[in-house]
Amino acid sequence: MRALSRRELLSLGLPLALSGCVAQRLEYSTRAVYLDPTRAKPGRLPFETGQILLSEAPGPHGVLFTLAPNRFFRFTHSAMIVLDERGEPFVYDMSAEFKPTLATTPPGSLHGGVRKTSIADYVGIHLYVEVFDPPAGVDRAKMAEKVRQIADDGVEFDAHWDFDDSDALFCSEFVVDVLQAGGAPRPPLVGLTDNQSLRKVLSWFGVTTSESLPAAALPREKLVAAFSRWPTRAAGTAYLEAKRELYRRFTPDQNIGDLLELDGLDVKLRPPIERYLDRAPLLYVSAAEAPPEAEMRARIRALADEELGPFTGPEHG
């Protein structure tokens, strides 16, 4: 596939600063909405080395990355917990920031590597976070050692989502490398979208591979905790279901510019999409428990019909 010019890229309604696992500089009041009752300890949260975090950040990039795989996944970013010598939990993830340079392609302006963050700071910059145990039987000490090795080696962020390039890593690839060090097998990769408008954008950003690994495709075990900017877990789930509905509607003939619009050197959600995503969690801010999946999904689809118009095409994903 030939390279796209900047003019051609802008005609798609797409950003010049975009890649997986790009850091967000937004903060919200985030609270625990679920803690595993079997691990309750007074004054302590149930964090252990090797636990996997799946998260969703605010803004348009989470929506864009949701559309990239050839089937739907709930989360677009992943990280791992490692306890320090005092037993304090820290989150390690592979992340990058856009820094304007004289580079001729977007990947040349993305810079990053392993980021070490406190639990509070990490959940504070996300809309919704779930924490899972790693696969059973992994060697967590070896996993912690691998995390520190990658950080000490200064491995850079991989803007190309390329699992065959071990010199740079993106978020889920980092977690896979750590899990493999602990004895877990490498999970199968997932094909990327056939949508031509989105494939052109991925190519512009250096992503020419036909498959990769979404964060939510990582192997994991029991849910340990959940954190949300909304007061209930059901509200966080509703946001993820709202993304699912956008994915269902994003058929191969759709243009990514139908969801996003150019805003300087970045993108923003088109107003109807933003209103829809803002309203979905509010349907469940007072819900003590999440309703059955089918009931929530039907309610989210009704909201999408109201905000975005009825969907009559073939379903996607």
Beta strand 156-157 with 168-169 is: parallel
- pLDDT, greater one: 180 or 194: 180
**pTM passes above 0.95:** no
Distance CA 244, CA 249 (A): 9
Confidence bin at 104 (pLDDT 50/70/90):
low
Confidence bin at 44 (pLDDT 50/70/90):
confident
pLDDT digits (tens, 9 = 90+) for 153-177: 999 988 878 888 888 999 999 999 9
- Mean per-residue pLDDT, 41-70: 89
Confidence bin at 183 (pLDDT 50/70/90):
very high
Tokens for 67? 């559309």
Structural class in CATH, domain 18-230: alpha beta
pLDDT at 179: 98
pLDDT digits (tens, 9 = 90+) for 230-240: 999 999 999 99
Phi-psi region of 59 (alpha: psi -120 to 50; beta: other; left: phi over 0): left
Confidence bin at 243 (pLDDT 50/70/90):
very high
Tokens for 56? 């969703």
231 class by beta-carbon count within 10 Å (0-12 exposed, 13-18 middle, 19+ buried) = middle
DSSP code at position 153 = T
Q: Which residue bears the tokens 């999946």?
A: 293
Round the average pLDDT of the chain to a whole number and report it: 85
The residues spanned by each domain of the chain are 18-230
pLDDT at 164: 83
Distance CA 82, CA 203 (A): 34
Confidence bin at 29 (pLDDT 50/70/90):
low
Phi, psi dihedrals of residue 263, rounded to the nearest 5°: -140, 85
